[in-house]
């Protein structure tokens, strides 16, 4: 029988999907929700506790008291400053070792995973719990990329991998070979919002989302869902390209339906890092 799963729940609907999957599989689950980060729907009908991000000592104690051994980190977490964290003593030790002020996102997440494993927990990836959530190679809907879009995808992939190598972001918007925007700390939704005003005449651009080279695959994988499609359409884009085998596809049926309605392509592309 599978161990009780602890979900470190960030924002979005992935934590709730994990809870639902555990209930369907008969697996015990416990949600550690974070104030100001977790959607309340993630804890509905589930054993749970709320915590501040900086209260590491009590959070670890809560997980142990709940009988959790396996952990999965699910959903985006807005990165706070040390002042916002207000870490407890264990948190100060944890974050000092992790180097929160000097690490990029991927480096910090690696340090967090290492710290959790040193505490005796086993950290899993979302795809270890949910099956069929990673994008496969090829079109996800009715439409495919044409030759012009393929050129923009190649350009976007080149830029995304270059920026990802220095732990900056996972997404790029390209139109006609010109980079309209790159993702930094603001996330993909705000990137797409910025690009609405930057659209040029001619065929719409393409959103490219890929993992950072060498990225820790158990956390913070690139993610797309129906909202990504709607925002891409609002930005005047004509397609989305994501890394096959390295991107989470949330609410796949709704995503495909939204893309087909909007006339956008969504495709999985093979990436060689």
Domain interval for residue 63: 5-129
Instruction: Give the model's confidence band at 106: pLDDT under 50 very low, under 70 low, under 90 confident, else very high.
Output: low
Q: Is the pLDDT of residue 97 over 70?
A: no
Q: Residues 187, 222: one domain?
A: yes
Domain end: 129, 160, 183, which one? 129
CA max distance for the chain: 59
Domain end: 80, 111, 129, which one? 129
Across the range 78-96, mean pLDDT stands at 71
For the stretch 189-219, pLDDT in tens is 999 999 999 999 999 999 999 999 888 888 8
Instruction: Give the model's confidence band at 232: pLDDT under 50 very low, under 70 low, under 90 confident, else very high.
Output: very high
Across the range 98-119, mean pLDDT stands at 71
Instruction: Give the model's confidence band at 98: pLDDT under 50 very low, under 70 low, under 90 confident, else very high.
Output: low
Instruction: Give the model's confidence band at 179: pLDDT under 50 very low, under 70 low, under 90 confident, else very high.
Output: very high
Count CA within 13 A, CB hemisphere, residue 20: 9
Q: Residues 65, 142: one domain?
A: no
Q: Residues 142, 221: one domain?
A: yes
Tokens coding 107: 């480096």
Q: Is the pLDDT of residue 103 over 60?
A: no
**E strands along 140-185, which residues?**
171-175, 178-182
Across the range 104-111, mean pLDDT stands at 68
- Residue 141's contacts (CB-CB under 8 Å, 6 or more residues apart) are 256, 259, 260, 264, 265, 266
The candidate with the shortest Cα–Cα distance to 266, out of 157, 129, 143, is: 143
Per-residue pLDDT, 228: 96
Per-residue pLDDT, 90: 78
Domain end: 129, 146, 161, which one? 129
Q: Residues 26, 62: one domain?
A: yes
Higher pLDDT: 240 or 187? It is 240
Q: Residues 116, 144: one domain?
A: no
Across the range 221-227, mean pLDDT stands at 92
Q: Residues 75, 52: one domain?
A: yes
For the stretch 23-64, pLDDT in tens is 988 999 999 999 888 989 889 889 999 998 888 889 999 999
Q: Residues 261, 204: one domain?
A: yes
Q: Residues 144, 123: one domain?
A: no
Q: Is the pLDDT of residue 102 over 60?
A: no
Q: Residues 146, 171: one domain?
A: yes
Per-residue pLDDT, 138: 96
221/211 Cα distance (integer angstroms): 6
* Lowest-pLDDT choice from 7-11, 139-143, 165-169, 249-253: 165-169
- Number of Cβ atoms within 10 Å of the Cβ of 101: 10
DSSP per-residue codes, 204-251: --EEEE-PPTT--TTS---EE-HHHHHHHHHTT--EEEEETTTSEESS
- Residue 221's contacts (CB-CB under 8 Å, 6 or more residues apart) are 125, 126, 211, 215, 246, 247, 248
Q: Residues 170, 206: one domain?
A: yes
Pair 210, 242: CB distance under 8 Å: yes
Whole-model pTM?
Answer: 0.86
Q: Residues 213, 110: one domain?
A: no
CATH number at residue 82: 3.40.50.20
CATH number at residue 171: 3.40.140.80
Q: Residues 97, 158: one domain?
A: no
Q: How far is CA 82 from CA 8, 53, 91, 199, 226, in A?
A: 20, 10, 10, 37, 34
Per-residue pLDDT, 247: 95
Helix (H) / strand (E) element for 61: namely: helix 56-65
Q: How far is CA 70 from the centre of its chain?
A: 19
How many domains in the chain?
2
Q: How far is CA 204 from CA 179, 182, 196, in A?
A: 12, 16, 11
């Amino acid at each position: 029988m599978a161990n009780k799963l602890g979900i470190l729940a960030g924002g979005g609907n992935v934590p709730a999907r994990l809870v639902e999957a555990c209930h369907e599989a008969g697996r015990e689950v416990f949600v550690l929700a974070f104030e100001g980060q977790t959607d309340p729907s993630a804890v509905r009908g589930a054993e749970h506790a709320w915590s501040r991000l900086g209260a590491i000592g009590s959070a670890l104690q809560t997980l142990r008291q709940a009988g959790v051994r396996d952990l999965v980190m699910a959903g985006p977490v807005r990165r706070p400053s040390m002042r916002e964290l207000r870490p407890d003593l264990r948190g100060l030790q944890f974050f000092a070792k992790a180097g929160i002020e000097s690490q990029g996102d991927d480096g910090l997440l690696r340090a967090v995973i290492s710290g959790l494993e040193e505490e005796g927990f086993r950290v899993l990836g979302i795809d270890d719990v949910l099956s069929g959530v990673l994008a496969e190679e090829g079109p996800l809907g009715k439409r495919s990329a044409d030759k012009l879009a393929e050129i923009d995808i190649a350009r976007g992939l080149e830029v995304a991998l270059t920026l990802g190598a220095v732990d900056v972001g996972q997404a790029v918007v390209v139109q006609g070979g010109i980079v309209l925007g790159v993702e930094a700390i603001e996330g993909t939704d705000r990137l797409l919002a910025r690009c609405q005003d930057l659209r040029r005449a001619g065929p719409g651009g393409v959103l490219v989302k890929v993992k950072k080279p060498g990225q820790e695959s158990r956390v913070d994988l690139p993610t797309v869902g129906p909202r990504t499609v709607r925002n891409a359409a609002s930005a005047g884009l004509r397609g989305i390209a994501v890394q096959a085998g390295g991107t989470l596809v949330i609410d796949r049926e709704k995503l495909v339906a939204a893309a087909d309605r909007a006339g956008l392509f969504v495709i999985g592309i093979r990436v060689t890092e």
